[in-house]
Every structure is written in C-alpha cells, then in structure tokens.
Structure 1
C-alpha cells in the first residue's frame, strides 16, 4: 500500500466499490495504469520524476492496493473504471504499462478527446506470439485456488522474469511462486486473472487500434522479449501517426521503481518530451 508522504489519496466511485488514485505534483493531469503483478505504487518513482510539471495519478486497479472494488476478470469493467478515473481527475493524458497499456489504448477508442497516449510494451498476441493455448492450464489453477501455479503458468505465457526462470518446468516454478506469495504479494498475484482476460480479449486484434485518433507514443526496450517488440512495432504501424521509441538496454520492468529493477530515470525524459 502506498505510504509516501508526498502523495495524496482519493477514491473514485465505480461498480462495487472505489478505485484509489495516488496523486503527486501539480499541473495537467496524467494517469498511469499499471500492469500485471503490480499496483499503483509500482510506478511511484516514475511519477515523482514527472511531478514537477504534472499532476500524476497512479491507479490501483480493482482488487489491488487500497482499491475496494473487487477483482473481476472482465476488461469491460476495468475500462469503465479507467474512464471514471479520467473523468474524476480531468486528465487527458494517459500512460499505460503492459496490460494497462491495452486498457489505455481501448480507452482512447472510447474517448477520442484524449490528448496524449503512451503505451509501454502492451502484451498483444500477434500470430500466436504468446502461445495462449496455455491459458487453459492457467484457468484450471485459478479454479483450484492455486495462485502459485497460476503464477507459474502466467510466467510461461508472458515470459516474465529472467529467461532461466521462465524456462523452468511449471511444477518447479509453482513451488518457487508459492514461496513468493507473502500476504502483500497475494492480491497482485490474484490480479493475474484480470490481466490474462485483457490479453485474451485483444489477442490477434491489433487492427482494432487503427481507429485511435489520439497522438500516440509506443515504447519498448531493446532488451525486452521479442513478442513485446513485435507487438510494439505492429501497434505503431496501425495507429495513424503513432511514433515508436525503443529504449536502449531496457526491458519489461523499466517503468517500475528503482528497488523493483526498474529504470525510471531512463524512461522519464522520453515521456516528458512527448507529454509536452
């Protein structure tokens, strides 16, 4: 849960409860939408780097952080949540990270009045680049209440973590994942069900985003997984006027906090240049 004293917390009413926004800075509003195995606090360092010129709103997606709205594996509901946050904060600039980038792109289709859209490594499956047949095993683990095994399967699907780790067999990954499931980590791990639903709903549908009219920046890291770079290039090609920037030497954790293997100091200058 966010505890930094320079952030203020507000609650946005949504179906079933509220969504928490952690806000820092002053000026034009920017909403940051986190990805899988994260909550709003995961981009706190990045938000502080943007704060001198912007009011940065970090969203705890439902079921994570201090949001009271319950987790649902329904991208439409999460899209409604994000729209409520944008309307409540008056923000017209959105940064989406990973699965949060897919939500942000879908919101741009719904709200053409958005002024800036930044998409960091959206996990779009193109020509089965993510091997989504494995989601059946993920569903079975969720149905059995085995969050550790679900994490292991998700690691295989999304190639999360270093290659030596996601290359391990699922039973061994499941044992390792269960050991990682502290009380603090379990809610964000349980949230994988919603992230997998987002990925499934947009799989093989990159063409949907050709209708985006918001000025768009697509970011990827040169050290990230090949399927993410493929998705970034395809998305840039389909969104009219979109620009792609590949950040040298960075990978999928780049937007996260410094103590979470992120590189916010390397990411922020490119964001600031485009937001302005």
Structure 2
C-alpha cells in the first residue's frame, strides 16, 4: 500500500531488463510463487507494496543496485504477475510465501519491504520466519490525528468493485485514498501503465487486509510485534507527510530491536540510488 501522491505503483520504474535466474517455489498451501534471483552474496528478499510486482515498480532497479552485495530475490506476491493464487486470502499465507522463498534462498535471509510490503515483512518476522536482519520502507500506518483514519467501509467498497469486475474503479478508489490528485488519476487512465495497475487490482483487498488494523489513527499496541526480535531498520522519507513519518517512528519504537532512519529529501517513492546504500550499510554490519 502506498501513502502519498507519487506512489511506487503509480510511477513505475523501467521493466526489469535482466531478471537473472527465474523460477518458482511452492508455498505451504500449494500456491506457486514466481521469483527472480540476481547477484551474489548473502540472500536478500524484496517484498513489494500494493499493485507492484517484478516487472512493475521499484524492485527491479533496486535489485540491480543491490546485486553487487547480495543475492537478491524479487518475487510476484500471490495473485500478481506469474504467481498463482489460492483463496480465501489470509495474511498468514503471504507469510508462508516469504518462508518458502527463504527456504529456496538457503534457510535464512535478509528482508526488505516497501509500503504495505514493509508491513508484511514486519509481520513475517514477528511470526518467526528465519531472518538475519530486516528493513521496512514507510509502512503505511496512521497512528495519530495528522491524517484521517481509513473509513470502516473502504475495504468493502474496493472489494465490491473488484467482485463486480470494475477493476479501474478499484484502482481509482485506492488512488483517491492515498492522495493522488484526481487530474493525475484521470490522465493515467489513458496511459499504458493503467493496464498494469488494473491487471493486479484484484489484489488490493489483500493489501488492505495487511495494513487495515494500522490505519485507525491510534498507535499499535506496544507488544504488537513482540516476536520480531531480529535487528530491524525502519526508513522514512524526510519529505513524506507528517502522518507517515510519525508512523515510522511509532513502528521503530514498537519493534523490539529496530532503529529509525530518515532519508532527507525522499518521499514514499523508493529511489534505488538513495535507498540501496542505506540497505547495504545496514545489512552488512
């Protein structure tokens, strides 16, 4: 899930030119998860946010920037790209997908998640997947009064649009919620990236399930991620809205062993040239 106008799904990076080794792993419920692997060194798995997958979003450029230091795994979250899907959706199934990828990577790995993917990473570590270190880029939480909380009926509205085959409407609802100007959304609807967004619109309810409990305008319980005992890094953009920066500070405090890093001049849109050096420093300590 994204948290501001220039989100990583609405403004994709170039499609991945060289995906390296590609393959599938089978998750605990039998779902086949497609992945790509590039580079050499300790394994690192990148987890995308809403509407993104290996060929659409920041993961490809980030993997290329990190490949000199790590064996980088990018993958299509279930229901996206070349991965399968098995219903009904449960956050636990996505945690199992990450566990399957870690198994393929050798049994332990670093994790890096962006936006709702960051929330999913924190949940996976909390639930005990074997990680060495993990990093989160702007988990889209609302923990105070600096932004209105998510309306209770919003997930149902998005799910209804998907169920009725109105994928474009589902994406528009999401764009409106994260703050994309209506004129930008209107222009996007007649550009090629819109087809890529609508192709995975049916997975938006999944992301809302991942982040929904943290969109209520109150801080998470202090023990919410008590199981996430690995060293963690929570990253905030210095130019992101107050509510996002405040949320990252709250997340860093709630995680048992995490630190906060604010990237001056950055927003919710992950830029590989800025973010990769921060990750290299943290993961190679």
Same fold (TM over 0.5): yes
Q: Which residue of structure 1 aligns with residue 254 of structure 2? A: 238
Residue 193 of structure 1 and its aligned partner are, at CA, apart by: 1.9
Q: Which residue of structure 2 aligns with residue 132 of structure 1? A: 150
Q: Which residue of structure 2 aligns with residue 116 of structure 1? A: 133
Q: What pairs with 1:249-268 in structure 2 (closer than 5 Å)?
A: 249-254=265-270, 263-268=271-276
Quick one: which of 277, 280, 283 aligns to 1:269? 277
Q: CA offsets, 1:23-66, max 9 Å, x none?
A: 10011100000001210233111111111121000011011121
Distance 2:129 2:197 in 1: 36
- The 1:113–1:3 alpha-carbon spacing in structure 2 relative to 1, beyond 3 Å, is closer
Residue 237 of structure 1 and its aligned partner are, at CA, apart by: 1.2
Q: What pairs with 1:217-232 in structure 2 (closer than 5 Å)?
A: 217-232=233-248
Residue 80 of structure 1 and its aligned partner are, at CA, apart by: 1.5
Residues 1:78 and 2:78 aligned together = no
Structure 2 unmatched runs, 5+ = 1-13
Higher share in helix: 1
Deviates more, 1:138-147 or 1:33-42: 138-147
SS of corresponding position for 2:260:
strand
Residues 1:248 and 2:269 aligned together = no
- Contact 1:148–1:177 (CA under 8 A) maintained in structure 2: no
Distance 1:99 1:273 in 2: 23
- Contact 1:17–1:70 (CA under 8 A) maintained in structure 2: yes
Distance 1:132 1:55 in 2: 37
Quick one: which of 179, 188, 203 aligns to 1:191? 203
Q: How many residues of Structure 1 are paired with residues of Structure 2 in the alignment?
A: 259
Residues 1:32 and 2:50 aligned together = no
- Contact 2:46–2:73 (CA under 8 A) maintained in structure 1: yes
Distance 2:132 2:273 in 1: 24
Residue 179 of structure 1 and its aligned partner are, at CA, apart by: 3.6
- Contact 1:151–1:174 (CA under 8 A) maintained in structure 2: no
Distance 1:214 1:230 in 2: 22
- Contact 2:127–2:227 (CA under 8 A) maintained in structure 1: no
- Contact 2:44–2:109 (CA under 8 A) maintained in structure 1: yes
- The 1:68–1:118 alpha-carbon spacing in structure 2 relative to 1, beyond 3 Å, is same
Q: What is the TM-score normalised by the length of structure 1?
A: 0.84
- The 1:243–1:272 alpha-carbon spacing in structure 2 relative to 1, beyond 3 Å, is same
Residue 228 of structure 1 and its aligned partner are, at CA, apart by: 1.6
Structure 1 unmatched runs, 5+ = 255-262
Q: What is the TM-score normalised by the length of structure 2?
A: 0.81
